[in-house]
Structure formats: C-alpha cells, structure tokens
Copies of this chain bind each other. A is one copy, B any other.
Amino acid sequence: MDPVRLPASDATWVPGAEGSGFGRANLPYGAVARPGQPAEPAVRVGTHALRLQALEDAGVLSRAELPAGALAGPVLNPLLALGPDAWARLRGVLQDLLAPGAHGRAAVQTALVPLAEVELRLPVAVGDFVDFYASLEHATALGRRFRPEGDPLLPNWRHLPVGYHGRAGSVAVSGTPVRRPHGQLGLGRFGPTEELDLELELGAVTGGGGEIFGFVVVNDWSARDIQRWEYQPLGPFLGKSFATSISGWVVPLDALAGARVPPREQDPEPLPYLRDADPWALDAELEVEVNGTVRSRANARTLYWTFPQMLAHATVNGAHARPGDLFASGTISAPGPGSLVELGDGFLRDGDAVVLRGACGAVSLGEVAGTVTA
C-alpha cells in the first residue's frame, strides 16, 4: 500500500485549523445559514465557515475572475457550472488568503463565522442522483442474501458498473433526522420497516461537463424488507427513496491529489470506454459509527469500479451530467462491511445515532450524521 502523502502545506493563520483535517490543504465547500439569513456558499476552515460572497463583496476574490452571482447561493450549483479552471482559480486565491502571513487578513476575518453559529444546509441542489454498486464485496454479500439460490454476482457485474437512479429530492444534509419509513414489507404486510439499514458510500459531485468537483460521504439509508419485496424487475425504489444523507462539506478533488492510488485489478479487462490511461482510486478510510461505537471500517480504494469509470459509463449513452449531479459508489464493504445487513447482528432501532466519516490521510472527508426517529 502506498503511504498517503501529507498535503504540501496545511498551515494557515486561522487558529486551530492546521492539522485538524480542515486546514489549508482541504478547504471543502458547503452552504451555511446564519440565524435568520438565507443559505450561502462557504468554505470550511477548521471550526469556522468562511463566507464566500462576503469575500467577493470585499473585493479579495477578484483574481479568481468569477462571474457575478457565482457565489450568491443558496447552493454551490452556479460555482459547479463554471468548471475546473474556475474552481482551481478560486481555490488558489483562497489558499493564498489563508496562508501564514497573508495579506488581506482583515477582510477574511470579517467573513469567518464559527460553525457553532451557523446551520449547515444542503450544499448542492442535486439534479440527478445515481447510485452504483461498485464494491465487489458488497455486491457479493447482497447477492447471496437476496438470491440465495443463484450465483451472487450476476453475469454483467464484472463488465459494467451496475447502477441506477435514486431520488434526488430525498437527498438531505448531515444532521437531518431520518424517519423510519412505512411500506409493504412483503406479501400483504404493511407497516414501519423492520430492517432499517445504513449504507456507507462515497459520492462524487460533478460540474456541468461531468468533471468531478469533489466528494461527500453518503449514507444511502435502506429498508431491506421493502427493498426485497419491491425490487424486481425494476430495481430499488421505496426501499431507498425515503432518505439519502450526505456530508455537508464537499471536499474538492484538488485537495485529494495525494490520496490517489492505483485502483484494484480488474478481470476481465473492461471495454475501451472504461479504460483510463492514468486510472486512480481514492485511498479514503471510512468508518461506520452507531451510538458512539465504531462498528466497521472500509476503504474506498477497495472499490472494483473507479469513479472515472462510473462517470464514463453513466454518460456513454449520451446522457449529460449537470452541475450538482451526485454519483455515489454504492456501499463500500472492504475490508469491513459497509452495511448492517452484512454485519449480521441486527438493524437500526428508533433513536439510534449513525455517523459515517472519512479521511484521506490528513485531509478529512467530514461526516454524515443522522438519528432514526419513529
């Protein structure tokens, strides 16, 4: 295993940020709302949110050459629509402003708000939400459970990244409570799900050309009984569509250069449109915590299909990605399982507090939290 390289410089004059996972090497984007104010784009620095429109208004972002309105909020979509060159310019300016000894500190200080004084909001208006099934270990485990009579891995699985569309309107930001869904649990049975599960995933947020802007941690809550009864032949629907939670801070791909590692071997070799001259996986350590106890640990580098492959597949038929589309990996289940059904000792109870979190070395991917309510 390649060691995760530490970011070139995480140091910043913002107190407490360096080495916290949210130092100058990270600078993830989100949306926050001050009391009584609408949501606005921000960057997280340590335990502070840096309000981007306030910086723009103060004139210190002019070098980034963003069009008017790009940071006006309430979501990141206008920024996502600008594409990688604009993202890099803005990131460069922000890194300069936050560097030790930087000029223009007064304007930045005015735009910094303690996280405790803002509400975290959904960072993007999700256009379409695609969820894949890219973990070999997860697909094998679920196939065994859902189709005990057959081969757990279906014939197509090693030839294409199997995926489906989820419900974009049900994507919620970390901290949103999750109500136990009602539904058909089997033939003639209706009520609250008895098999409420979590799914540990990583999700890529895209720009308008389908480029990856950054990553969030995803909890694709699942009602296994509803899913098992409904899913044939058109796939998961109500067993998933009640809630999908994402972490509030989108970590830019540019912050993760040091965490790119060679992907897992693929056999058979995929078709040309799924080959990449410079393939990469993300060495992202992830963990599942329920009621304060870590239940499992997984790593995104174990995914069989890479994010570039997932995106290439999703658009090979001519479908366009839009700014703010969310492409999630599906449950990541290696080395440890990414769902309770795979752990095999029970499902979520009302009141359970679930936290999924991740880190690429010294760069935190943050966390996605949610508590189950009746």
A interface residues, Cβ below 8 angstroms from B:
127-128, 133, 143, 146-147, 154-156, 159-160, 162-170, 179, 181-184, 187-188, 190, 223, 226, 229-238, 241-243, 271-273, 313-314, 316-322, 325
Contact = CB atoms under 8 A, between A and B. Distances in A.
Contacts of A230: 156, 160, 162
A271 B190 contact: yes
B169 A128 contact: yes
Given A169-B322, A317-B183, A320-B169, A156 B229 contact: yes
A127 B143 CA distance: 31
A372 to B, nearest CB: 12
Nearest to A238: B317
A183 B314 CA distance: 10
Nearest to A228: B156
A234 B271 contact: no
A168 B318 contact: no
B236 A181 contact: no
Contact of A316 (B133, B182, B187): B182
A313 to B, nearest CB: 7
Those 5 A-B pairs whose CB atoms lie nearest each other, nearest first: A235-B235, A181-B317, A164-B234, A165-B165, A234-B235
Given A159-B188, A170-B319, A241-B317, 8 more contacts: A128-B168, A160-B229, A164-B234, A165-B241, A168-B168, A169-B325, A183-B317, A242-B318
Contacts of A168: 127-128, 168
A236 B234 contact: yes
Given A156-B229, A317-B223, A165 B167 contact: yes
B164 A242 contact: no
A218 to B, nearest CB: 16
A26 B183 CA distance: 37
A184 B169 CA distance: 29
Contact of A165 (B127, B159, B164, B273): B164
A274 to B, nearest CB: 9
Given A164-B235, A271-B190, A127 B229 contact: no
A166 B226 CA distance: 19
A184 B235 contact: no
Nearest to A235: B235
B231 A233 contact: yes
